[in-house]
Chains A and B, each alone.
Chain A
Amino acid sequence: MKRKLMPFALVAVFFLTVSSFIHAADKPPQKGESLPVINLLIPKSPAEKSYLGLSGGGSFKIPQIKAKAVIIEIFSMYCPYCQKDAPGINELYHLIENDPDLKNKVKLIGIGAGNTPFEVGVFKKTYAVPFPLFPDQDFTIHKACGEVRTPYFIVVKINEDGSHLIVHSQLGEYPGAKPFLELVLKSSGLK
């Protein structure tokens, strides 16, 4: 009898292993939750490294970024709305960087869902994106984020003790740099 149950046990173990490995979330990250585990490679560019307040090589997690709030845009080089919004997101970056009070508090990164490093590079060059973009070639991060449509925005508040919380998330509907910055500052308690 036990032997007959073996295949079921094997299948159960296999399925659990696979599902925990893929970790395909069934919904996008929500306000009030923590971020799913996202490992990104520390950028090679010294300017980007210093922007994020990171040092050395290897990988990092988003809450390690030296900031009080991080805006994450999940985009794709292949997505027309991401292309259309790109200049407006650049403007958001410049609004933050030109404000001495916000400069070191709010940081911006992009994650290219299903994009190779080359494809992310094309997007960066085409739209002169001034903030760090990371490839997610095999959709690992995209899956962990509930396979959101793009562009998708997540705002994360990072506390003094290193803990973090998602304070805002939205699909598309980018309202422009100023209103979005206002929303980021309010939701993360910086204003």
Chain B
Amino acid sequence: MKKRRFFHLAWVVGVFSVFAFIPVVYAISDAFKQNIYKVGTLKPVDSVLKVKVGDRAPDFTLPSISEEKVSLSQHRGKKNVVLSFVPAAWTPVCSDQWPGYNIVKDIFDENNAILLGITVDNIPTLYAWTNQMGKLWFPVLSDFWPHGAVAKKYGVLRSNGVSERALFVIDKKGVLRYIDVHDINKRPALEDLVGVLEKLKK
């Protein structure tokens, strides 16, 4: 009898688990028209961090869509740096993350911070995609080749080759002060990042 109940329970749980995959909704901007590829709901995090708060942030140099190469170390002693890794161009949540940062340059300025946007896409893809966002005030960097090398260095490269949706805040000394490897399916709330930048200013 007990065994039977167990099987019933297992069956119910099994069927219920299907509903755990009810698709997550996104508010996609009409700016991207029908060009956003629906990825469905993904495993929230699929990598293991290789850095922690208090560590010196690993340096890197990457090409940007404006053709200049950008190094993390060039900002040392001058600016706090926010690294915004997003998984991929032309995907739902990512397409509606940077355009938000694009209207808060004043908040970054007030807190003596700059933003570096990074994905593992190549430059032409990033160029076409970010063109839909209007003119971005921050550099967009391509971690395409060697594929995802910077994402890998920080421990945010997922098993399928895209990066996590992750925010790293690095102070002027080059030390990591905040890490948010966010659920890839959701957009981090802006106030959390702003709170960190304001604390750094103090």
Interface of chain A, main secondary structure: helix
**CB neighbors of A among B15-33 (8 A):** 15-16, 19, 22, 25-31
**CB neighbors of A among B55-108 (8 A):** 96-97, 99-100, 102-104, 107
Cα separation A74 to B187 with both chains bound (whole Å): 18
Across-interface contacts of A149 in B (CB, < 8 A): 27-30
Please judge, given known A-B contacts A7-B11, A78-B99, whether A150 and B134 are in contact too, CB under 8 Å. Answer: no
Report whether A14 and B189 are in contact in the complex, using a CB–CB cutoff of 8 Å: no
Count of B interface residues, CB-CB < 8 Å: 30
B68 to chain A, nearest CB (A): 24
Among A15, A74, A81, A151, the residue within 8 A (CB) of B19 is: A15
Across-interface contacts of A79 in B (CB, < 8 A): 27, 29-31, 96, 99
Report whether B100 and A77 are in contact in the complex, using a CB–CB cutoff of 8 Å: yes
Q: Which residues of B contact A (CB under 8 A)?
A: 8, 11-12, 15-16, 19, 22, 25-31, 96-97, 99-100, 102-104, 107, 132-134, 187, 189-191, 194
Q: Which residues of A contact B (CB under 8 A)?
A: 3, 6-7, 10-11, 14-15, 18, 22, 24, 74, 76-84, 113-114, 116, 118-119, 122-123, 126, 139, 142-143, 147, 149-152, 171-172
Cross-chain pairs A/B with CB under 8 angstroms, 24 sampled: A11-B15, A18-B22, A74-B27, A77-B100, A77-B190, A78-B97, A78-B99, A79-B29, A81-B29, A81-B30, A82-B29, A114-B96, A116-B190, A116-B191, A118-B189, A119-B191, A122-B100, A122-B107, A143-B25, A147-B27, A149-B28, A150-B27, A150-B29, A151-B30
